[in-house]
Amino acid sequence: MLRPAEQSSQTSVKVANDVPALSKLGIVVRFGRHETIFNQGDEAKYSYRLVSGAVRHSKFLVNGRRQIADFSLPGEYFGFQNDCEHSLTAEALSDVVVVRYPRSHVERLGEEVADVRRELMLNLRRELMMAQEHLVMLGRQSAKERVASFIVALANRVDAGNGDTITLPMGRQDIADYLGLTIETVCRAISDLKQCGVIKVPNRHELVLLRLDVLEALASGESDED
């Protein structure tokens, strides 16, 4: 199917519906599962919009520890935040299709078109706010609360409600590295939630929301619930 090596089709596409002015600049590029899209420290030559698949954005410490800052889902932009070099490593969680924009063009468009500018600004602000929520999770929530928050956030992002099944495009280790936990702790928290009848887990990559209300209570730290 998809080759691990980067394949580009030079067709311009109409996926950038949020920023129509951008659409003409992008080309489609594919990455295989676990391929690196760009590395922390790389010169930020391109920005991206994710068409399909999922991407993780992480930082690595000297001793091999990893912190995932964010996941990208289809329709979302990434790689816009830095002008000179990327501050995060972006890797494909699965086979991935992106639209790639040369940064220099994006930059110029930003200077010239007010709409693009506003959109870029808005994007940055959204990311900052998400990072702030993430800080609260890592700094002040228990393991179970973090896992609940994670599920609720994911559900909101794909607009899922009670009874709906959501897909987890990332593995347990990725969730752990996002939540600042170990894989075992994440597993146990998920098992707990399963036990309590709050979720169902038909398989590794799927999750059925049974009691979104309980999850939300846990996520916001209503400590008396178990």
Partner DNA sequence: CGCTTGCTTGAGTCTGATCAATGCTCGTGG
Partner DNA sequence: CCACGAGCATTGATCAGACTCAAGCAAGCG
Q: Which residues bind DNA (CB under 7 A)?
A: 142-144, 171-173, 180-188, 190-191, 201, 203-204
Among 7, 52, 173, 220, binds its own copies (CB under 8 A): 220
User: How many of the other CB atoms lie within 10 Å of CB of 220?
Assistant: 12
Token pair of 33, please? 């599962």
Which residues is 90 bridged to in the sheet?
Answer: 38, 57
Query: How far is Cα 100 from Cα 29, in angstroms, rounded to an integer?
Result: 7
- 16: helix, coil or strand? coil
Q: Choosing among its own copies, DNA, none, which partner's interface includes residue 153 (Cβ < 5 to 8 Å by kind)?
A: none
Contact 207, 165 (CB under 8 A): yes
Binder of residue 8, out of DNA, its own copies, none (CB less than 5 to 8 A by kind): none
Stretch that binds its own copies, among 16-24, 45-53, 124-132, 202-210 (CB under 8 A): 124-132
Spell out a b/e string for 1-22, using b for 16 or more CB atoms within 10 Å of the CB, else e: ebeeeeeeeeeeeebbebbeeb
Which of 124, 157, 162, 165 forms a contact with its own copies (CB under 8 A)? 124
Q: Which of residues 30-59 bind its own copies (CB under 8 A)?
A: 59
Among positions 11, 114, 163, 204, the unique one binding its own copies when judged by CB under 8 A: 114
CB of 176 to DNA, least distance (A): 7
Closest CA to 97 of 136, 147, 51: 51
Q: Contact residues for its own copies (CB under 8 A)?
A: 59, 61-63, 65-67, 69, 81-83, 87-88, 111, 114, 117, 120-122, 124-125, 127-129, 131-132, 134-136, 138-141, 177, 179-180, 220-223
